[in-house]
């Protein structure tokens, strides 16, 4: 159970949103059903999948992982289902796929939305009937595997657009665990920052983690963290190793490692300021098609401007508020109003 302890160390949080997810995981883990984990990049989808596995009755069997986006369609099929010798050029011997290696255990498929319709069709058969064939083979293999899939995309939306099989989505979504982004877990930001800081201090062979100044804390709490926990971890580790006075608290949080006056400009718009490149078209030249939903159009315009300002300010809410000509608290009100937190 050493692996489970390690996972528990890394799944840190005290916010109600995070604790609700852990409670959800504890309830679904004992059920031998497929699970879909949804969340933005860096929210810990793989850690949640591992927790489901180690809290299930399959905890002592294999936990096999595969990132579907890292492999092209042809190789993905052989990686999932294996292949027989001679199935294609270069296939000199039989290859056991992930389903075969995960027999009796759990298979975690990350970035599932990137798979082709052919792979999705074969996955559907495995889930429905528990069987598959190796590539180039005709022997029916049995799969005793619990499937956990993850994505950061809107699968129902993709299914409606015909870009993901609806029947596969139905089979996968026995239940869906949606992970909250870090910006919705304000109570956890400093807890996680301390955790990552202590670990990095150990790696740097420092006597202790020096902590954070009020200014650094303010930076952490006001950043939107589009990369979530992974981004926070990198920011804390980067800031600590660049910190030149290890006995004094960290004052500067380095959010953007690309921040340099010598950073190459985008070739698409050389020399064009970000403000100009992102400027809205001349609204006066746009002829509205009446009747219109005036309130909805105003709301869409405000959301677009807020998102653009946040992106330009590298998700620093104070800078974004200044760019929009509103106060920090007014911006926070808009973020809550439009559920952008």
Q: Among 141-145, 200-204, 218-222, where is mean pLDDT lowest?
A: 141-145
pLDDT at 23 over 50: yes
| Amino acid 333: pLDDT | 76
Listed ranges 72-86, 231-245, 284-298; the one with the highest mean pLDDT: 231-245
Please name the residue that has the structure tokens 């504890």: 26
| Amino acid 90: pLDDT | 66
| Amino acid 272: pLDDT | 41
Give me 29's structure tokens: 């883990």
| Amino acid 311: pLDDT | 85
Architecture of domain 274-337: Orthogonal Bundle (1.10)
* Cα separation values, 256 from 82, 96, 230, 317, Å: 42, 42, 13, 15
66 within 8 A of 109, measured Cβ to Cβ: yes
pLDDT at 185 over 70: yes
pLDDT at 176 over 90: yes
Mean pLDDT of the chain: 86
Distance CA 305, CA 323 (A): 10
| Amino acid 97: pLDDT | 86
| Amino acid 287: pLDDT | 63
Q: Among 104-108, 222-226, 236-240, 323-327, where is mean pLDDT lowest?
A: 323-327
Mean pLDDT across 130-158? 89
111 within 8 A of 69, measured Cβ to Cβ: yes
Helices (H), the chain: 2-10, 16-28, 45-54, 73-81, 98-101, 117-129, 155-160, 166-172, 186-203, 214-222, 228-242, 274-277, 294-312, 317-324, 328-337
**Superfamily of 2-178 according to CATH:** P-loop containing nucleotide triphosphate hydrolases (3.40.50.300)
Please name the residue that has the structure tokens 């665990």: 177
| Amino acid 135: pLDDT | 81
Domain locations along the chain:
2-178, 184-242, 274-337
What percentage of the chain carries pLDDT values higher than 70?
88
User: Which is higher by pLDDT, 298 or 36?
Assistant: 36
In order, the DSSP letters of 89-130 are TT--S-B--HHHHTTTSEEEEESGGGS-HHHHHHHHHHHHHS
Q: Span 184-242: which CATH code?
A: 1.10.8.60
CATH topology match: 2-178 vs 184-242: no
| Amino acid 299: pLDDT | 82
pLDDT digits (tens, 9 = 90+) for 224-276: 999 999 999 999 999 999 998 888 999 999 999 988 888 887 665 444 444 44
């Amino acid at each position: 159970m050493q692996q489970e302890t390690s996972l528990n160390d890394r799944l840190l949080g005290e916010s109600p949103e995070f604790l609700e997810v852990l409670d959800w995981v504890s309830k679904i883990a004992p059920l031998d059903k497929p699970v879909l984990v949804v969340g933005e990049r860096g929210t810990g989808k793989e850690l949640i999948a591992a927790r489901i596995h180690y809290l299930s009755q399959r905890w002592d069997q294999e936990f096999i992982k595969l990132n579907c986006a890292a492999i092209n369609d042809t190789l993905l099929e052989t990686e999932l289902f294996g292949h027989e010798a001679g199935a294609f050029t270069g296939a000199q011997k039989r290859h056991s796929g992930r389903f075969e290696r995960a027999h009796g255990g759990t298979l975690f498929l990350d970035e599932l939305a990137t798979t082709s319709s052919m792979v999705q069709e074969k996955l559907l058969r495995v889930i429905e009937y528990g069987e598959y064939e190796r590539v180039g083979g005709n022997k029916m293999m049995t799969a005793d595997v619990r499937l956990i899939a993850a994505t950061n995309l809107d699968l129902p939306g993709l299914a409606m657009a015909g870009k993901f099989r609806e029947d596969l989505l139905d089979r996968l979504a026995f239940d869906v665990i949606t992970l909250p982004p870090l910006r919705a877990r304000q109570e956890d930001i400093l807890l996680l920052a301390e955790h990552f800081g202590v670990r990095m201090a150990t790696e740097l062979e420092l006597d202790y983690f020096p902590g954070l100044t009020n200014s650094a804390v303010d930076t952490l709490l006001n950043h939107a963290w589009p990369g979530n926990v992974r981004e926070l971890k990198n920011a804390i580790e980067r800031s600590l190793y660049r910190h030149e006075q290890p006995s004094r608290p960290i004052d500067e949080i380095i959010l953007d490692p690309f921040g340099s006056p010598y950073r190459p400009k985008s070739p698409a718009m050389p020399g064009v300021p970000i403000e100009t490149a992102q400027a809205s078209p001349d609204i006066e030249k746009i002829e509205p098609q009446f009747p219109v939903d005036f309130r909805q159009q105003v709301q869409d315009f405000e959301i677009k401007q807020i998102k653009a300002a946040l992106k330009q300010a590298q998700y620093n809410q104070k800078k974004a508020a200044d760019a929009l000509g509103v106060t920090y608290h007014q911006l926070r009100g808009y973020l809550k109003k439009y559920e952008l937190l």
